Structure 1
């Protein structure tokens, strides 16, 4: 069986690669209102690919006002067999400055064993891996399979609760396979057993009714931008540990990236210190992080000698497994209000809240996954955490507490640069992931 599936995956891989490249060419940026047609086209192409794979039921779900279209694919379970839900998302992050890419962001380009382009790793490779696994089984998987390809993961899945409520019975599964994580290093298969949650707030400070002359009034009247800088500096101590009270920490998994490897992957400049204390794994996988995501203030090119009357910033948190995203968001809001200096008027608007996730990766489904991924890669599976957040997972785990949730890579690794310029997919690991998923469907058969 294993040999036959390996040969089948190699046979379908060229067409799957071509389909992946076609998806990458579509700028399906869910955060951009001007890209809604592209997001729709991405969903339509995804649906067509699964129809051509032989699925008896493929639907585009766009029944939530203001939502982005998702694709739902179903293969009925043979009698007595379990059902696996295969998850991916077809929306992508904005490309950023195209001049900073080594090749156009929406033109897939192969270099040195990697496929470059926005969405190659996050997460159109996940769609392609699901296609490969189903095609390797000639469109007749040995167990029941439901495929869900979401269209708004990159904007925090704001309609997920409504979506799960409306389609609860359709999405019910024994095992969930999410191809939206990274391997720690290329060539080593990983199961992600913990994800940080996410929360954010926007804070606005007002000091003056209007901008005034910095010479005549400066030194006695505060400006909002200086006050904002002082406020944002209170988010960390001198080492860079987060100082927001009320946030949880968790027990970190053993291992994790080395400091040198992490510095190289993150692209830290020479001499730049790392934040926080403890191991890299502790800092990334089991502790909160606070980030100033954006600031609204007078741009440098338009600056004059004027005290800024107002300044605004968005602050994001990543939360340790075991924390509660809503409570953490409230803690951040309290911190921002309490630490506003000099009596400035402060308005805090609470933003997103996505729950963290942790799983006890034991049981028959995890055993099957370790066999499948181990055989596909020729290497033992390693359990890792992740600093990333996938709101779908915690919501799904809450809705379906008996389902085993497997979080794996479709070829993304530490060099994939997801959400950054020059995003790429490790093509050898992509092939391994396609085979692993095909083997997993067979291993789950009872």
Structure 2
């Protein structure tokens, strides 16, 4: 990391000037040397004065190294002030003292951050820093926003006699969730857009073969199938299906953040990772993706497509607020376009959430319920190893059994329910939906 040329290069990153103060080591050397010399003179013991020689040398060295009062007091700049990274990446945090006097040391330590890995450990570093910069590596454990706080920084001269306490500015590290590659089909058999990568049932310009028929007036010459034409001695053309896009709405339920008994990931973690994977999957198809949060932890993202939309969704996910209390007011989806593919990411515990799920299906959406409830919460295996005397684990087992009955009723309404267990979770559901919708249907006459 290259240091900035001046404190002005990082607005708000400098600290107020701080004067150098004598250290306790310098005070001890000065005081003890005077005491020993006075004691040697009082007792007429020249040999006792020899004990004060190291102390006198250190005191003289410190006095000789005293800071020049005419020089400006040191300031510090934190770099970078704000930075955005992706899960798994390491960011270098640096403290730069542009007016660091020669032969001085920098001692810095970052504290107060949990679920992070520091290099060196604990974020503590002591360096001679000839360029006036000390740097540590920070690797957050998961997505979110991390406020590093004000690290402790000391500027100490080479004799250890003079020290300046500086207060650097805090850094804000935004960690975007890693968008895993979703495995499986698209689940779209009836796209509702105009252009895209999904094969529709409408014939026109495309790449998917529909049939080969005789030439009609208005057919394009480049569609002529010369092999069939030469065999039948009559002009034939190749007919194809058009390729279209669709609307994808990802609905998130952040009314509650359910914990995992194994302390691996909460329901909010599963929701964020599911939204990232689903969005990347369908933006890759050229579809228009929107995000709507029923709670208050996530922000809304309007429907759009392209790499910019994916970056926007990841940025919104990284700003998710974990500290909000549960049971906040619900913000329902106003309406959906008929044929919209809806992914409903929720632990599916609240009756109001189930009503919203069924309502989206009645509005014409192709709804898929993505269960983000932690897998170990409310299971018999967790209950066996529980030592909770408040019977909380037993209550969760009963709550999961009640929820299973509700989910069975949801599936009877034609809404598939699948638990989020990573990028392969939706593969079979999407493939089954695509095959079922494109299968031929028998019509019964009167």
| Common fold by TM > 0.5 | no
TM-score interval, smaller chain:
under 0.3
Q: If you compute each CA radius of gyration, which structure gives the higher value, 1 or 2?
A: 2
Q: Which has the higher helix share?
A: 1
TM-score by length of 2: 0.18
Which has the bigger relative contact order, CA under 8 A and spacing at least 6? 1
When normalised by structure 1's length, the TM-score is: 0.18
